[in-house]
């Protein structure tokens, strides 16, 4: 299979995204070109990566002094205590600004390691090797790093671009179906907010993507998603305008995760799928988009048995708790909840165009769930 290389150009920052079966073999070369003065590497590993794949990563790092830390990818990892512990370890190992933090794992590991890289000595090199579908199509690109607060998800963090991203397709072979569903949520999101042709392609290929076995289809989905993500990030790195459109469904989703206390019964991608459907139903109620749009989206959910019902995870009496977390969303700039809603497939409302009070949202969430 031919390797795909995408150049991300975000203001003055440029980096390569390498995608394909065998992309991991480009890791040593990317470190050498993007971080030529690196002598030490902090390898932050997801414990769920199969040992065979861990060895493939480590073989690429033989020229360096490598300090390895492994973590289970739980949202509870994203805390000040864990960050402080890793930072102190790296300072003790005399890491300097020329050295590199390398994340190999899903979105949680990337968020955590990227944040550490951004604050260690005010910034060391960061390279991301995403190993889940969600992290390959979304979280590894664009420079968002962060940890959680008791008040909500990813409320503490920084914008810090990686030096390179290596998306190795073979990592996806060991993923359970639930993880593929998570990645599919973000793939679907890109089509809904910007790319109707991509949506048509997804309708034809959704089952193949979710099987996780066809590398040609998977690579196409990842490449198309990455290009869409770069479009928004290049236009608005610090999320003051157009990049906020990437949060379609996420205002609901992050609140759902926080209200569940980041429990394993609902993960990020599942929450995003429910959040996008809630946002679309709200769009219909506000007469921003038609029922036909909602029906077209629901067909994909039903065909693939995707999470769609909030009541499966929460009793209605707990819906107000979700809304309370929505108030703390990063995109809000006053007491109202800032929402990105759908006009049609491929087009959304703009940031600030739709805002709702807490009481309005508490009344309507029960009707659209």
Q: pLDDT tens, 239-267?
A: 989 999 999 999 999 999 999 999 889 99
Q: Is 318 a catalytic residue?
A: no
Residue 67 is predicted with a pLDDT of 98
User: Is residue 328 pLDDT above 90, yes or no?
Assistant: no
User: What pLDDT does 297 receive?
Assistant: 98
Mean of per-residue pLDDT scores for the chain = 96
Instruction: Let me know if domain 177-211+239-368 sits in CATH 3.90.550.10.
Output: no
Is 122 designated active site?
yes
To the query of whether residue 39 is one of the catalytic residues in this protein, the response is: no
pLDDT attached to residue 5: 97
pLDDT at residue 184 in the model = 98
Q: If pLDDT is split at 50, 70 and 90, which confidence band does 102 have?
A: very high
Q: What is the pLDDT of residues 87-100, one digit of tens each?
A: 999 999 999 999 99
Q: Considering only 6-20, 22-36, 316-330, which range has the smallest mean pLDDT?
A: 316-330
Note if 243 is an active site residue.
Answer: yes
Structure tokens at 166: 């290596």
Assess whether pLDDT exceeds 90 at residue 198.
yes
pLDDT of residue 38: 98
- Give me the catalytic one of 250, 257, 267, 338: 250
Residue 276 has pLDDT above 80, yes or no: yes
What ranges in 120-176 are assigned the alpha helix state H? 133-134
Confidence at residue 109, expressed as pLDDT on a 0 to 100 scale: 98
- Is 80 exceeded by the pLDDT of residue 330? no
Catalytic status, residue 186: yes
User: What pLDDT does residue 331 have?
Assistant: 79
Percent of the chain with pLDDT over 70: 100
The candidate with the shortest Cα–Cα distance to 247, out of 280, 222, 225, 272, is: 272
Alpha helices in the chain (DSSP H): 27-34, 51-59, 80-92, 107-119, 133-134, 177-193, 196-211, 215-235, 250-259, 268-285, 291-304, 319-326, 358-368
Q: Count CB atoms within 10 A of the CB of residue 308.
A: 16
Provide the pLDDT for residue 1. Answer: 79
And the tokens for 203? 């309708």
> For the structural domain made of 4-174, what CATH number should be given?
3.40.50.1970
Of 75, 179, 239, 270, which residue is the catalytic one? 239
Give ranges for CATH 1.20.1090.10 in the chain. 177-211+239-368
Residue intervals in the chain for CATH 3.40.50.1970: 4-174
**What are 18's strand-pairing partners?**
5, 166
């Amino acid at each position: 299979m031919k390797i795909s290389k995408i150049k991300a150009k975000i203001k003055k920052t440029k980096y390569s995204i390498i995608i394909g079966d065998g992309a991991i073999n480009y890791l040593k070369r990317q470190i050498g070109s993007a971080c030529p003065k690196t002598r030490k590497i902090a390898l932050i590993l997801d414990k769920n990566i199969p040992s065979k794949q861990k060895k493939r990563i480590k073989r690429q790092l033989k020229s360096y002094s490598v300090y390895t830390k492994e973590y289970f990818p739980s949202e509870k990892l994203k805390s000040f205590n864990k960050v402080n512990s890793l930072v102190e370890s790296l300072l003790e190992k005399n890491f300097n600004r020329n050295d590199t933090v390398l994340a190999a794992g899903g979105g949680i590991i990337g968020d955590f390691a990227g944040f550490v890289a951004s604050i260690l000595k005010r910034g060391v090199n960061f390279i991301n090797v995403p190993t889940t579908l969600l992290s390959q199509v979304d979280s590894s690109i664009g420079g968002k790093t962060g940890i959680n607060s008791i008040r909500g998800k990813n409320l503490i963090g920084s914008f810090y671009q990686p030096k390179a991203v290596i998306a190795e397709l073979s990592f996806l072979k060991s993923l359970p179906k639930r993880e593929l569903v998570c990645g599919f949520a973000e793939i679907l999101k890109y089509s809904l907010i910007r790319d109707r042709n991509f949506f048509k392609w997804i309708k034809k290929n959704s089952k193949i993507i979710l099987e996780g076995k066809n590398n040609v289809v998977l690579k196409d989905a990842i490449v198309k998603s990455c290009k869409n993500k770069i479009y928004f990030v290049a236009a608005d790195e610090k999320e003051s305008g157009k990049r906020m459109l990437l949060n379609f469904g996420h205002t609901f989703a992050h609140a759902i995760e926080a209200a569940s206390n980041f429990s394993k019964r609902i993960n990020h991608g599942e929450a995003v799928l429910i959040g996008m459907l809630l946002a679309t139903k709200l769009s219909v109620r506000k007469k921003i988009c038609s029922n036909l749009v909602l029906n077209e989206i629901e067909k994909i959910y039903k065909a693939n048995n995707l999470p769609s019902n909030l009541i499966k995870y929460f009793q209605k009496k707990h819906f107000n708790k979700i809304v309370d977390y929505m108030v703390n969303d990063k995109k809000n700039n006053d007491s109202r909840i800032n929402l990105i809603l759908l006009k049609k497939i491929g087009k959304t409302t703009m940031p600030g165009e739709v805002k709702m009070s807490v009481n309005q949202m508490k009344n309507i969430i029960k009707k659209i769930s």
